[in-house]
Amino acid sequence: MRALIFKEVRGFLGSLIGLIVVAVFLLLTSLFLWVFPDNLLDLGYADPAPFFQIAPWVFLFLVPAVTMRSFSEERRTGTLELLLTKPLTELQVVLAKYAAAVVLVVAALAPTLFYIFSLGELAVPRGNLDMGGIIGSYLGLLLLGACFGAIGVFASSLTSSQVVAFLIAVFACFFLFMGFGLIASFDAFGALEGPIQAIGIQSHYLSISRGVVDLRDILYFLGVITIFLLLTRASVQSRKW
């Protein structure tokens, strides 16, 4: 399994799509932070909140772009059957491909630590940042990216078309991130607004981003990831039926 993880990671980081994903993520977040109107320099105070607000929306498209080839390419080329003949279970294959996607998410987030360093240098006094909130926000982004990765891998297991897998993943990620919050905003649901919002990802991400690391939020993300990985295994196993 370890060899497969390394193979997938090399495939992601060594491919053009992997480099483009990381480059686009860093470019977009940099533009919103330092160039576009209402950037950090215009605001006049060192607050990385704009980065953590825009990053989920960038992830919404970039993580599906990374995962769309996970199983779709294997299906298209007919190598999935060959892969499943190796001494690995379907779950191990799924976990290996998912782990590679998470590694790429981490690789995209790591350079953004320079943003925090820059803000700390610009702050008055120097280093005057809410590190608790920043650590919570990075944890939330990591869990969000991992969650989107699980959804993307599942979408990729459904079809041999990378484009279709990308579209399915973007729709599913958007619905889980924003959909339940939009549904809860309707007056007809009344007292159910809170429980409905809690089904979606956004409320849990915002909770962690405030620096409040609640075990319930962590368990929520882990639960969503587990569900989609199990659905992916079932999808892969269905080829034997």
Q: Which of 115-119, 168-172, 201-205, 221-225 has the lowest mean pLDDT?
A: 115-119
Give all strands (DSSP E) within 18-120, no chain letters.
Answer: none
Annotated domain spans of the chain? 2-240
Radius of gyration, alpha carbons of the chain: 19
Confidence at 43, pLDDT banded by 50, 70, 90: low
pLDDT tier at 155 (50, 70, 90 boundaries)?
very high
Given this model, what pLDDT does residue 240 score? Answer: 57
The pLDDT value given to residue 182: 76
pLDDT in tens, 57-79: 888 888 898 888 888 877 777 67
Element at 224 (helix H, strand E): helix 215-237
- Token pair listed for 44: 């006049």
pLDDT band at 49 (very low <50, low <70, confident <90, very high): confident
Distance (Å, whole) CA 137 – CA 49:
9
Please report, as a single letter, which amino acid is at residue 227. I
Tell me the per-residue pLDDT of 80-108, one tens digit each, with 9 for 90 and over.
666 666 667 788 888 888 988 888 888 88
CB atoms near residue 189 (< 10 Å): 14
The answer for residues whose C-beta is within 8 angstroms of residue 72's C-beta and 6 or more apart is 156, 159, 160, 161, 162, 164, 165
